[in-house]
Amino acid sequence: MKLPGFLRGMPQVAWQEFLVNLKSVRLIIMGLLSALLIVGGAYGFTTLFSSGGGFGGLPPVVAWGHQAYASNGSHVAVVWVSDPYGAPVAGRSVEFTNRSPTGGEVALGTVPTDANGFARLDVGNSDYVSATVRAGTFTVGTGVVFYPPFVNFTTASLQGDFKRHGRSDGLALHVMDLRGNPAAANVSVNGTLTGSVNGYGYLLVDLPVEQSNVTVEVAGEAETFPTYVPGDSNGAPFTSGPDFVLVVIASLSFLVISIFAIVLSFDAVSKERVQGTMDLLLSRPTSRTGILLGKFLGAFGAVALPVTLVNLAGVGVITAVSGKGPTGSFAAAFVGVSLLLIAFYVLMQLIFSTFAKTSGTAVLFGVLVWLLFNILYTIVVAVVAGAVFYYDAAGYFRFTQVAGLGNPTSICSMLVSLAAPASLQGISGTSLEPAIPGAAAVVWFVGLLALALWTFHRKAGE
């Protein structure tokens, strides 16, 4: 099919621009950087918010404290140091302190953990002992209270999200006898035998949702205690798991995407002028509109291809790590709006590249526009709103909501927020009706495209 005259040369220019960018070192560097930030961020944030780190999650090191007694009746404080999943940590110094209300705070000694992660110290007649251990920059503590035992063993426990799926339905148990050795214990949940502790005295069991009773049995003696696992909740945003992580990743991705688009397209036009090839390009059977649209499509495609692959990889990592993918429509909106953001910044850079006489000036324009829309714009809006609506709280609120329509990055964030699940609307939503940011996106795209065409028609031949 033959294109209209005003589009002459567009496919050829687009393909050439795409190939040149695809082979450029800039694309390789930005692609690797984007993959590192987005895919790495997807893994890190999924682990943090959905797999036990951060909010109420698992500590990197656990100190399990137990009371024990020497043959002469002296008190022995026993601490087993491990990771949450029961791997012992050897060679860590455990500091024991007497914290008896009557005896005051007195250092009792420091003992390194042995090859099996145990540290034991005879504390005499001390009844209240604290123990702290440092692993890297993390310090963990536990208390050992010498109370009259009801059974001939002691149990320490840790409940959390061991399966990394956003629910605290795992219970780690550590069982010791009163001589300070790992006990041979069987564990039951609601009367059903779940398993036996290992040689270190450790066992990880699964808990059902809601109330349950856990029973630890050693040599015919048993101890039962209640546990509770809350069901699904729409309260805290991080309980939404993969969708919440995608909200965080979208914010990070938009910053990277805008830089990516600027880096690849900042000299799309200026380089032709610097290299002296613009006159040659204009002398061919091509129209100025076709050249500009070709430049746009080529640069857009060169950025969109790696960005889309990286974003899809990020969604895949979230799914793989959490075991549950983000909502399909939300993930699709994230990928689609990312393409819109690329289009915005490529068009803006084409405008500045047409004005710029050198590549250095073009990249300076790119840096300034990125700073404006990703950092300075929010500050300017806050200052203006505070000055104009100082005595009008309602006016301040309405102005700050509408002011986001003047920023293409904010518009894209609004569009992604509108596609987010209802449970996340409170942290990522907008008070505007969906049609408003949608219409603003159309106005921005059409306006930038028209301005880019007008600028190129005026400046290209100079």
pLDDT at 234: 41
Residue 183: band (very low, low, confident or very high) from pLDDT cuts 50, 70, 90: very high
User: What is the per-residue pLDDT across 81-116, written as a single tens digit (0 to 9) for each?
Assistant: 999 999 999 999 999 999 876 656 899 999 999 999
Q: Locate the DSSP E strands across 237-390.
A: none
User: What is the per-residue pLDDT across 359-402, written as a single tens digit (0 to 9) for each?
Assistant: 788 888 888 989 999 889 989 988 888 888 887 777 776 787 78
User: What is the per-residue pLDDT across 145-158, written as a single tens digit (0 to 9) for each?
Assistant: 998 888 999 999 99
Measured in degrees and rounded to the nearest 5, phi and psi for residue 102 equal -95, -30
Average pLDDT (398-408) is: 85
Of 64-78, 249-263, 294-308, 438-452, the range with the lowest mean pLDDT is 249-263
Q: How far is the C-alpha of 145 from the C-alpha of 414, rounded, in Å? A: 54
Q: For residue 64, what are the CA distances in angstroms to 156, 333, 393?
A: 6, 46, 53
Q: How far is the C-alpha of 201 from the C-alpha of 63, rounded, in Å? A: 13
Q: How far is the C-alpha of 317 from the C-alpha of 94, rounded, in Å? A: 38
pLDDT at 238: 42
Whether 290 contacts 13, CB under 8 Å: yes
Share of the chain above pLDDT 70, in %: 90
Average pLDDT, the chain: 86
pLDDT at 276: 73
Q: How far is the C-alpha of 293 from the C-alpha of 457, rounded, in Å? A: 12
- State which H helix or E strand residue 228 sits in: strand 221-229
Q: How far is the C-alpha of 214 from the C-alpha of 206, rounded, in Å? A: 11
The yes-or-no verdict on residue 335 having pLDDT over 90 is yes
The yes-or-no verdict on residue 206 having pLDDT over 50 is yes
pLDDT at 233: 45
Residue 184: band (very low, low, confident or very high) from pLDDT cuts 50, 70, 90: very high
Question: CA triplet 424, 427, 432: central angle to 5 degrees?
Answer: 90
Residue 52: band (very low, low, confident or very high) from pLDDT cuts 50, 70, 90: very low
The amino acid at 416 = V
Largest CA distance in the chain: 103
Q: For residue 201, what are the CA distances in angstroms to 189, 215, 337, 452?
A: 17, 15, 52, 70
Residue 327: band (very low, low, confident or very high) from pLDDT cuts 50, 70, 90: confident
The yes-or-no verdict on residue 142 having pLDDT over 70 is yes
Q: How far is the C-alpha of 296 from the C-alpha of 14, rounded, in Å? A: 7
Share of the chain above pLDDT 90, in %: 47
Q: How far is the C-alpha of 454 from the C-alpha of 448, rounded, in Å? A: 10
Average pLDDT (406-435) is: 78
Residue 358: band (very low, low, confident or very high) from pLDDT cuts 50, 70, 90: confident
Question: Token digits for 270?
Answer: 């200026």
pLDDT at 56: 42
Q: How far is the C-alpha of 13 from the C-alpha of 110, rounded, in Å? A: 73
Q: What is the 3-state secondary structure (H, E, C) of 40-101?
A: HHHHHHHHHHHCCCCCCCCCCCEEEEEEEECCCCCEEEEEEEECCCCCECCCCEEEEEEEEC
The yes-or-no verdict on residue 23 having pLDDT over 80 is yes
Residue 431: band (very low, low, confident or very high) from pLDDT cuts 50, 70, 90: low
pLDDT at 239: 44
Residue from 326, 328, 327, 264 nearest 297 by CA: 264
Average pLDDT (137-149) is: 87
pLDDT at 460: 65
Of 84-88, 122-126, 151-155, 265-269, the range with the lowest mean pLDDT is 265-269
Q: How far is the C-alpha of 329 from the C-alpha of 421, rounded, in Å? A: 9
Average pLDDT (436-448) is: 94
Q: Which range has the top average pLDDT, 363-367, 401-405, 449-453?
A: 449-453
User: What is the per-residue pLDDT across 211-255, written as a single tens digit (0 to 9) for each?
Assistant: 999 999 999 999 999 999 887 544 444 444 788 888 888 888 999
- State which H helix or E strand residue 230 sits in: none
Dihedral over Cα of 273, 274, 280, 284: its sign: negative
pLDDT at 211: 93
Q: For residue 430, what are the CA distances in angstroms to 403, 434, 436, 438?
A: 12, 9, 11, 12
DSSP-derived secondary structure for 120-172: EEEEET-SEEEEEEEETTEEEEEEEE----SSSEEEEEEEE-TTSSS---EEE
Of 5-14, 25-34, 180-189, the range with the lowest mean pLDDT is 5-14
The yes-or-no verdict on residue 53 having pLDDT over 80 is no
Of 93-107, 178-192, 201-215, the range with the lowest mean pLDDT is 93-107
Non-local (6+) Cβ contacts of 353 within 8 A are 265, 266, 267, 268, 269, 270, 362, 365
